[in-house]
Structure 1
Amino acid sequence: MDFDLREFTDRLCRFRTTAGEEAAAADWLQDRFEELGFETYAWDADPDLLANHPSFPDDPAVLEAEVEGRRSVAGVLALGEADPGGDDEYPTVVLNGHFDVVPAERGVWSSDPFDPVRRGGDDDPETLTARGAADMKSGLAACVGAALEVREAIESGEMDANLRIVVEAVAGEEDGGFGAATAALENPYPFDRDAAIVAEPTELRPVVACEGSLMARLELSGKSAHAATRWHGEDVLPRFERIRQAFVDLESERTQATTHPLYEAFPVSAPVVCGKVEAGSWASTVPASLTAEFRIGVLPGETVREVQEQFEQRLAEVVADDPWLRENPPQFERFSVQFEPCEIDADEPIVEAIRAGMDDAGVSPAEPEGVTYGADSRHYIEAGIPTVLFGPGSISEAHYPNETIEWAEVEEAHNAIAAAVLEYAEMVPNS
C-alpha cells in the first residue's frame, strides 16, 4: 500500500474523535498500519492501573466509565538486523501522537470541523483546516510518514541502521493521557523503549520541559436574603473576588520568583485561570453559594502537592481576615485530572537527534524550549523514557474554532523526524 501524507491526514481528520468516540478511528488506524507493513499492537486504558497514578481519580469505578472503549494502537517496524521481539541490543524509538480531539461547535466554525478544508497552493501557502489539524492529527500522520521514510532508506541501502520504530496513536490525551499513561505504566510491547518523540504542535521547535497543572474546585457558602434587604444576607461574590485576586497576586509573585531558565521569558510563568464560576440561584436573591474551578500552573521542579499548599496558604490568609469565612470556611479541593510537570536534559541523545534531524531536513535551527502546557511526554519521562516534543503547527490553533495548520510545516516535520530517527540510531547504535 502506497502512503500519501495528505490523504492519510485528511481521512484521519474526518473521524469525530472526541472523548469516548475514538473507536472507529482506532480500528481504521490499525488497519492502515497493517496494510503499510507494520506489526500492530492495541491496548485499552486500564482503570485499575490508572487509579494508582497521581494524575487520575483514585476510584477505578469513576475511571471505568471514562475509559471504556478508548483504545490506543501502534505500528512497529523492525529495521536492518533489529528483532521485532526485542532479542537484541538495537534501539527503539517511539513516535507518538494522540488522535482524540476536543469538541468543536459547528456554529462558530466557517466549515464543518470534521470535513477537512484545504486552501492555497501554488503561490499561496497551503493550509488545512479541521478539528485536530494542528492538535495533533497532522503530527501523528507525519510520524507515520517518517517511519516509512526511514524504512525505505534502510531497505534501499541508502542508509545503514538497525532499530525499531514504534508509531503510537493514543486515545484520551485531552483527558490526561489515558492511552499514554497505560502504555507507560504497562509496556504493551515485547521490547524496551529507549526514547520518544511526541509530535505535539511546537512550531517545529524541540521542547524539553512541560508545565503541570493543578485542577482545584473552590466552594463558598454565604447567607441568602431578599435583594431588597440585602444587608440581611452574606454575599459570596465579594468574598470570591477577594480570593480570586489573592490567587492572581500569588500568580504574579510566582512569576517574579521564577528562576527556571526556560520559563523566565514568559510574561506569566505559571498561569492561573478561573475557568468556571457558578453562583446564586435568583436575580433577586443574595447569592449564598458559589463554586469556582481553577487551573493552576505547576513549573518543572515543583510538584502539584507543593503548589496546592501554596494556594491553600494564600486562601487561609484571606479567610483569616473575614469573620464570616472564619465561621464558614471554604472548601478548596482537587478535581478531575492533575498534570505533573516534566523535563529532560537538553543534551539527551534524542534531543540532539532532533536538532541534527532539523539541520538535515533544512528546518530552521531552534534551541530547546519549555512550554506552559502539559503533554503525554510526562508519562514516558516518568517511566524513564527520555521524551521530547517536536511537531508541526502552533498551540495557538489548538482547541480553537477553524483550527488550521500550514501544510509545509507538516512535510517539514515528516522529514525532520525521519532524519532524527536515523541520527538517533547512529548516536545510540546499541541501547
Structure 2
Amino acid sequence: MSDIAESARVVGESDAAPQSHARPASLDWIERLIAFNTVSRESNLGLIETVRDHLSKHGIASTLTYDAGRNKANLFATIAAAHGAQQGGIVLSGHTDVVPVDGQQWDTDPFAPVVRDGKLYGRGSCDMKGFIGVALSALPDLLNTRLDKPVHLALSYDEEIGCVGAPSMIAELQARGVHPEGCIVGEPTNMRPIVAHKSISSYRCCVRGHAVHSSLTPQGVNAIEYAARLICQIRDIADTLKQQGPFDEAFDVPFSTASTGLIEGGIAVNTVPARCDFVFEYRTLPGVDASKIIERIETYARTVLEPEMRKVSPNASIEFTRRSASPALEASEQDAITQLVRALTANRETHKVAYGTEAGLFQRAGIPSVICGPGSIEQAHKPNEFVTLDQIALCETFIQKLIRSMTLA
C-alpha cells in the first residue's frame, strides 16, 4: 500500500484549504444515525438494516454477523476497485452502539439531533456516528471514482461494553480470506492521527461471606469488608504503576492504571453481609503484560483473604469473572496506513490515548490500524454530546482526499 501512501502525500501537499462547511448529505446521514437508539443494551438492527438496504440499492452486498440472540449485528461491505478487486484496500471502521443517557440532564432529546451554534447535538454525534455518517455520505463519490483498491465499511455492535461485537466480524473476514491492507477507526480525535492506545481489561468480582446478626460479627464473614480489602489492593497496584511505571510520555496518561467502578452488597445495617459484588478495570500501556495484573489481584485473594475467610466459614470464597478484554494498539510509523493518514491530515505529531478502541483488534488480526475521526473525546459520553460542524467538514475533506489518493490515473 506504499503507492497509496505516496499518492496521499502528493494529494495532501497540493490540496487547497479544507472546506469550512459541512455538507447537507453528511448532516442528513449523521442525524439519521443518531435517531436510532442504539444504546448497547438495545438492538442496533434498525440502523444496520437501514445501512444494508442503502448499500444494496447501489449494488453493494453486505455481510452481517449476529450476536447469539440475533438481536444485534456487525456489517461489513466492500466497494470494489475499478477492476473488480475486493482484496486489500482500506477499512473505514466505526461502532454503532452508544452509551446510555440514564440520569443525565440533556437540554434536548438525545435521540433527536439538533444543530445549534455550529454544533450538532445528540447521543453518538461524536462517538461515533459523525464519522460513520460522513463515510456513508461519500458513497456516491466512491462509486463514481475509478478506485485502484477497494474501500471497505465495517460497522460493529457493543464496542462500548468492551469491544464485544467486532471480534466475530474480524473472525468472519479471516474465514473468508479477506485481507485489508489497513484500517482507519474513526473514533473522535479532532481529526488527528492516534497511533497508540492502551489495552482494557474488566472483571467482576463476587465475594461470598457468611451472614449473621451484626451483634455476632465474629461468627460471620463480612463480604463487604473483604471486598474493600481487595479493592484497596487494586488501588495499591494502581499507585505502584503510577509511581514506578513503565512510562510513555506520549500518552495523555503516561502509565498503566487500575480502578474500581461499581460495587453492591449487603441487605441491612444489622446483618453481616453474605455477598458483595464489584467491577474493576485496568488499562495497560502497549507492551505491558495485562495478565500479570489480574494474577497479582487473584494471588492476593487466594493466599491472603480466602484463608482468613474460611477459618470462619469453609464455604466463603472470592470469584473472578472476566467481562471484557481488548488489546492495546501500537501502530508502526513504517506501516503504509500510518503514512497515509499522516499525509492526508498533514499531521506528523505523535499522539497516544488512554481510551480503548477496536483498532487493537484489527491490528491483532494482522490489519495495521490508525485512529482518526471528527470530534473530541472530551464530549463523548456526556450530556449534550456534540460534534462541531467544522470537525465534520474536516472529516469530509479527509475522506475526499482519501478517495482521490486511491483514484487510478
The TM-score with structure 1 as length reference comes to 0.79
Change (3 A) 1:225 1:175: closer
Change (3 A) 1:411 1:190: farther
Q: Distance in 2 between matches of 1:347 and 1:326?
A: 58
Match of 2:370 among 388, 393, 409: 388
Partner of 2:107: 110
Partner of 1:201: 188
Query: Is the partner of 2:324 in helix, strand or coil?
Result: coil
Q: How far apart are residue 313 of structure 1 and its match?
A: 3.3
Query: Is the partner of 2:298 in helix, strand or coil?
Result: helix
Q: Does 1:279 align with 2:265?
A: yes
Tell me, yes or no, if the aligned pair for 1:220 and 1:330 is still in contact at 8 Å.
Answer: yes
Q: Does 1:211 align with 2:198?
A: yes
Q: For each residue in 1:158-211, what CA deviation from the matched residue of structure 2 results, as whole angstroms up to 9, or x when unmatched?
A: xxx511111222223224445422221121877531111010112222122222
Q: How far apart are residue 115 of structure 1 and its match?
A: 0.6
Query: Is the partner of 1:186 in helix, strand or coil?
Result: helix
Match of 2:333 among 322, 346, 349: 346
Q: Does 1:78 align with 2:80?
A: yes
- State how 1:71-150 maps to structure 2 within 5 Å: 71-79=73-81, 81-86=82-87, 91-105=88-102, 108-120=105-117, 126-146=118-138, 148-149=140-141
Q: How far apart are residue 374 of structure 1 and its match?
A: 2.0
Q: Distance in 1 between matches of 2:328 and 2:122?
A: 29
Change (3 A) 1:336 1:234: closer
Partner of 2:379: 397
The TM-score with structure 2 as length reference comes to 0.82
Q: Distance in 1 between matches of 2:334 and 2:138?
A: 23
Match of 2:50 among 4, 28, 38: 28
Change (3 A) 1:400 1:352: same
Partner of 1:61: none
Partner of 1:16: 37
Tell me, yes or no, if the aligned pair for 2:252 and 2:353 is still in contact at 8 Å.
Answer: no
Amino acid at match of 2:344: G
Unpaired runs of 5+ residues, structure 1, are 47-63, 121-125, 156-160, 360-364
Q: Distance in 2 between matches of 1:226 and 1:284?
A: 6
Query: Which range moved further: 394-403 or 186-195?
Result: 186-195
Q: Does 1:293 align with 2:259?
A: no
Higher relative contact order at CA 8 Å, sep ≥6: structure 1 or structure 2? 2
Q: Distance in 1 between matches of 2:170 and 2:113?
A: 32
Aligned pairs, number: 382
Partner of 2:394: 412
Q: How far apart are residue 214 of structure 1 and its match?
A: 2.1
Partner of 1:377: 359
Q: For each residue in 1:272-326, what CA deviation from the matched residue of structure 2 results, as whole angstroms up to 9, or x when unmatched?
A: 2212111111122232321111112233223442321132234456538x84467
Query: Is the partner of 1:302 in helix, strand or coil?
Result: coil
Partner of 2:64: 43
Q: Distance in 2 between matches of 1:421 and 1:309?
A: 47
Amino acid at match of 1:235: N
